[in-house]
Amino acid sequence: MFRLRKPNIIPVNDHIWLMDDHKAATCCLVAGHEAAMVIDTSIGVSNIRETARSLTDLPLICVNTHGHRDHMGGNWSFDRAYMNLADLPLAERTIHSSEIAEELKQNGFRYPAFEHIEDGHVFDLGGLEIEVMYFPGHTAGEIILLDRTDRVLFTGDGILEHLWLQMPESLSVRAQINSMEKLLPLRDSFDTILHGHCQQPFGMELYDTMFAALRDLEAGNTADDIDYEWRTFVSRAHPYQPNDRRIVYKEQPVCDTL
């Protein structure tokens, strides 16, 4: 029998919550006066819509930060879901070939059609606006979301302690730096970062230290870099402080398709 589990709910303030899916991924719920946004839905073995429903009665808008399974796998609990369709091939891989998707299908769950989300789009939740920014690097279709009222940036896998740029769908270190530079003019618009695997809020130092480490890596300061193994990928990791953070990158430089 297929059994769904319940995420841990962690309040950030009186209208933003983290939904930690037992460290598989962390989804966020942001409620305005008229609508609420669910950001990511984890791997698919929790009913994220039901969890959000336990916190708000408002209409729910589901937005995916990118197309990896651990962020969009639970989209089946929604009738529609937004995503930058540059990541559609990744999402379709989950829908058509993952073991979890097959189990969900056998139990009558269906994924919704994805709706494309544009760079600069603003969702009006009623007294609270959420702005979409394309943030290519971890994947080509990664987006981040800015809530200027709460001064919160939702970063998915775009800004976090261990940045993964080593996967086939990842772009170059330079592409990630370009995305980080896009945020510079908005530097004073947020002071809290909630990423797609966090159990608590982070401050601006997460952005600042990762940005510095990326520039250090691009400058060729790789003497302390180490091998990094994940599945069959051969890659390297660039460690930086605090707390032994790292940027994982491809051993061979690649040309971006963007």
Q: Which is nearer to Zn ion, 87 or 150 (CB)?
A: 87
Indicate the residue among 169 and 191 with the shorter CB distance to Zn ion.
169
142 touches Zn ion (CB under 5 A): no
Q: How far is the CB of 62 from Zn ion (least distance, A)?
A: 17
Phi-psi region of 124 (alpha: psi -120 to 50; beta: other; left: phi over 0): beta
Total residues at the site for Zn ion (CB under 5 A)? Answer: 2
Q: From the CB of 201, what's the least distance to Zn ion, in Å?
A: 20
Preceding omega of 242 cis (within 30 degrees of 0) = yes
When asked if residue 157 is in the footprint of Zn ion (CB under 5 A), the reply is: yes
Q: Contact letters (x/-) for Zn ion, 16-55, by CB under 5 A?
A: ----------------------------------------
Q: How far is the CB of 167 from Zn ion (least distance, A)?
A: 8
Task: Mark 40-78 as b/e (b = at least 16 C-beta within 10 Å).
Answer: bbbbbbbbbbebbeeebebebbbbbbbbbbbbbbbbbbb
Rounded Cα distance, 81 and 67, in Å: 11
- Of 68 and 246, which has the nearer Cβ to Zn ion? 68
Backbone angles phi, psi at 46, to 5 degrees: -125, 145
Cα separation, 73 vs 52, in Å, equals 16
Residue 139 beta carbon to Zn ion: minimum distance, rounded to whole angstroms: 6
Using CB under 5 A as the binding rule, whether residue 68 contacts Zn ion is answered as: yes
Closer residue to Zn ion, CB minimum distance, 25 or 152: 25
Q: Which is nearer to Zn ion, 58 or 179 (CB)?
A: 179
Task: Pick the piece of the chain touching Zn ion (CB under 5 A) from 17-25, 46-54, 152-160, 221-229.
Answer: 152-160
Which of these ranges, 40-48, 67-75, 97-105, 213-221, lies near Zn ion under the rule CB under 5 A?
Answer: 67-75
Contacts of 180 (CB under 8 A, 6+ apart): 159, 207, 210, 211, 214
CA 132 to chain centre: 12
195 binds Zn ion (CB under 5 A): no
Segment interacting with Zn ion, rule: CB under 5 A, options 65-73, 147-155, 186-194, 202-210: 65-73
DSSP E strand stretches across the chain: 8-11, 16-20, 26-31, 36-39, 60-63, 81-83, 114-116, 122-124, 129-134, 143-147, 152-156, 162-165, 192-195, 226-230, 233-240, 245-250
CB of 138 to Zn ion, least distance (A): 6
**Cβ proximity to Zn ion, 7 vs 156, nearer residue:** 156
197 binds Zn ion (CB under 5 A): no
User: What would the DSSP string read from start to end of 93-108?
Assistant: HHHHH-HHHHHHHHTT
Question: Under the rule (CB under 5 A), what is the footprint of Zn ion?
Answer: 68, 157
